[in-house]
Structure 1
Amino acid sequence: MKRVEIFKTNIYRMKDAQRIVATLVSLFSSYKINFDLDDEERILRIESSQLEIETNSIVRKMFEWGYRCERII
């Protein structure tokens, strides 16, 4: 079963988004992760085909790195 979580962020630069994606993929290798920086909410999209997505861990990591990240329900 495919699972998807969408987060609102304050990421504005593609360089930051690429670095965050690379780091998150290294921590959560089974996730497919991307940003939509053209969206006004600077969307972080995470998809998993097998595992439950660890939303709290994602939000906490982003906060630790100095970014805002809020799950959109």
Structure 2
Amino acid sequence: MIEVFKTNVQEAAHSEMIVGRLLEHFPNSVISFDLEDCDKILRIHAAVISNHKIIEVLNSHGFHCEVLP
């Protein structure tokens, strides 16, 4: 399963921290940011994905996150 999110993460250091936090909840998944994209894309490839949990993790660190249709 692959899910794609629009975020407002701007800096590589923040994206690396968020990836680390998400890997705590979704081990064995592949998580990456595309900060060059205008939507600052977060892409998660995992067997099971909880959109609510992903949004919650980003929100708890002060970032906006929404599922891209």
Q: What TM-score do the two structures reach when normalised by structure 1? A: 0.88
Instruction: Give the greater-gyration-radius structure (CA).
Output: 1
Give the RMSD, CA atoms, in angstroms: 0.9
Separation in 2, partners of 1:28, 1:53: 8
Which of 49, 55, 59 pairs up with 2:55?
59
Contact 2:6 2:42 in 1 (8 A): yes
Gaps in structure 1 of 5+ consecutive residues? none
User: Residues 32-47 of structure 1 correspond to what in structure 2 (within 5 A)?
Assistant: 32-47=30-45
Instruction: Output one character per residue of 1:4-62: Cα deviation in whole Å (capped at 9) or x when no partner.
Output: 100000000001001111111122102210000000000000001xx331111101111
State the AA in 2 paired with 1:32: V
Counterpart residue number, 1:13 = 11
Counterpart residue number, 2:24 = 26
Gaps in structure 2 of 5+ consecutive residues? none
Q: Which runs of 4+ in 1 moved over 3 A?
A: none
Separation in 2, partners of 1:21, 1:52: 16
Residue correspondences, number: 69
Q: Percent identity?
A: 33
Is 1:71 equivalent to 2:55 in the alignment? no
